[in-house]
Amino acid sequence: MKRHLLALSLGIFASFPAIGSADQPGLEVEQAWSRASMGNDRPGVAYMVVRNTGSETRTLIGAKTDIAMMPQIHRTTTGASGVSQMAPAGDIEIQPGAEIALAPGGLHIMLMKLTQPLIEGESYGLTLLFKNGHDFEVSVPILSPTARNANP
Amino acid sequence: MKLKYITRILWAAVAISGIGLLALTIMKPYLFPDKVIFQSAITADFELTDQNGQILRDEDFADQWMLVFFGYTNCPDVCPTTIAEMAAVMDGLGDKQSMVQPIMITIDPERDTPGVLAEYLGFFSPGFVGLTGSPEQIAATSKTFQIFYAKETEPDAPDGYGMAHTSHIYLFGPDGKYIRFYRYGTTAEAILKDLSNRI
């Protein structure tokens, strides 16, 4: 009886990784961070690195979160003459083995219509939306208003 | 006959120098990113209102180095990032901090009133001077600094617009003279290294 119980528990535990990967295959998200916001009248921002560790191309099409009503992936571009502007980034393909970096001055998630202020020291949940419907949840820590990168 | 040849040679010379000038103007940001070649000199010539409602002129910063950037408070990425880098520069200056004045000039004066700037800079970067004014004053200031700015439609952004704008950080010496700009993305460490050598 004991041996059967042991085998059963081992079998259940061994299947955990498989269950995890069946829901959200082949993606890693690292170095997610946001700056604290001044109130919630102005858009917040989120940055992160998204890595495709699977064998199929993943297409990032957007994000959703409780903390903002209109999160949208934008891209800042700065021209040779020094003018910076932003535009919606559209769909972003991530090839197998590749990664994209959402970082200051480039791709970023513009958290428009914040539902509450982003408070330093807290974190919030954000879901990355993918074309194939396999969305990915990220917990984003909120750093200081003048944080420069993911490492406080 | 001879005159015809001379005329043709002269026109060819005009064409060549015209092409050369065009090429140099196009390539200038790549060849000489920090130098101003064909424009009239950039000057810090302003009379604007600070976040406390006081009128400030460039003369009021005599004997101080000025680090000036243009932005707006509804900017989610570029401007907070610029402030963060400039704050890191100021920290790095240590006891030389008092020699340098960081200044934010808004290019969105309709929304960024003195009170708004006071709250914003108080939250992000106390010690920064924020300058605003009427749209005409900001337009005039942008000409002396030779910076570009324009509204961009963004339906989901506050008030439905954002701003495209020059994102350099400009350095002026204690004599008020323009020295150079730091392109957006230049790290605080690189700016500090350059600035420390000059102060």
Same domain, B22 and B71: no
Same domain, B18 and B99: no
Q: Which domains does chain A possess? A: 25-143 (2.60.40.1890)
**SS3 per residue for B68-115:** EEEECCCCCCHHHHHHHHHHHHHHHHHHHHHHEEEEEEECCCCCCCHH
CA of A19 vs chain B CAs: smallest distance (Å): 37
Same domain, B22 and B112: no
Residue of A35, A83, A108 lying closest to B166 (CB–CB) = A83
Task: Tell whether B37 is covered by a domain.
Answer: no
Task: Tell whether B161 is covered by a domain.
Answer: yes
Q: How far apart are CA B189 and CA B194, in angstroms?
A: 9
Task: With beta carbons less than 8 A apart as the criterion, state whether A96 and B177 touch.
Answer: no
CA atoms within 13 A on the CB side of A77: 5
Residue B185 phi/psi, 5-degree rounding, is 105, -15
The pLDDT value recorded for residue B68 is: 97
Same domain, B78 and B6: no
Say if the Cβ atoms of B88 and A74 lie within 8 Å.
no
Helix/strand/coil for B190: helix
Mutate to test the interface with A, among B81, B146, B186 (most CBs of A within 10 A): B81
The pLDDT value recorded for residue B127 is: 94
Reported as a single tens digit per residue, the pLDDT across B25-68 is: 788 777 665 555 545 689 889 999 999 999 999 999 999 999 99
Confidence label for A3 from pLDDT (cuts 50, 70 and 90): confident
The residue range of the domain holding B4 is 1-31
Same domain, B7 and B60: no
Reported as a single tens digit per residue, the pLDDT across A84-94 is: 999 999 999 99
Same domain, B153 and B88: yes
Same domain, B23 and B76: no
In this structure, chain B runs to a length of 199
Same domain, B20 and B103: no
Same domain, B79 and B158: yes
Task: Tell whether B40 is covered by a domain.
Answer: no
Same domain, B94 and B5: no
Torsion on CA atoms B75, A75, A56, A31, rounded to nearest 10: -40
Does residue A15 register a pLDDT over 70? Answer: no
The pLDDT value recorded for residue B24 is: 81
Residue B122 phi/psi, 5-degree rounding, is -60, -35
Mutate to test the interface with B, among A74, A83, A107 (most CBs of B within 10 A): A83
Same domain, B139 and B178: yes
Positive or negative: CA dihedral A68, A74, A78, A79: negative
* Sequence-ordered strand ranges (E) for A36-106: 44-52, 58-65, 68-78, 83-88, 92-94, 99-102
Say if the Cβ atoms of A105 and B152 lie within 8 Å.
no
Task: Tell whether B190 is covered by a domain.
Answer: yes
Q: Please state the domain count of chain B.
A: 2
Q: Which residues of chain B are at the A interface, by a Cβ-Cβ cutoff of 8 Å? A: 29-30, 73-74, 76-78, 80-81, 83-85, 87-88, 119-120, 123-125, 148, 152, 154, 156-158, 162, 164-168, 181, 183-185, 188
Please report the ipTM that was assigned to this predicted complex. 0.82
Task: Tell whether B39 is covered by a domain.
Answer: no
Q: CB within 8 A of A124, min separation 6: which ones?
A: A34, A65, A66, A67, A118, A139, A140, A142
Chain A residues inside the 8 Å CB shell of B184: 78, 82, 84, 105
Task: Tell whether B38 is covered by a domain.
Answer: no
Task: Tell whether B42 is covered by a domain.
Answer: no
Reported as a single tens digit per residue, the pLDDT across B146-186 is: 999 999 999 889 999 999 999 999 999 999 999 999 999 99
Task: Tell whether B36 is covered by a domain.
Answer: no
CATH number for B59: 3.40.30.10
Confidence label for B112 from pLDDT (cuts 50, 70 and 90): very high
- Residue type at A54 in one-letter notation: G
Confidence label for A21 from pLDDT (cuts 50, 70 and 90): very low
Averaged pLDDT for residues B99-123: 97
Say if the Cβ atoms of A82 and B167 lie within 8 Å.
yes
CA atoms within 13 A on the CB side of A9: 5
Say if the Cβ atoms of A145 and B80 lie within 8 Å.
yes
Same domain, B116 and B20: no
| Residues B50-55: contacts with CB under 8 Å, at least 24 apart | B50/B114, B50/B117, B50/B129, B50/B130, B50/B131, B51/B114, B51/B115, B51/B117, B51/B118, B51/B121, B51/B122, B51/B129, B51/B130, B51/B132, B52/B114, B52/B118, B53/B114
**Residue B181 tokens, joined:** 């700009």
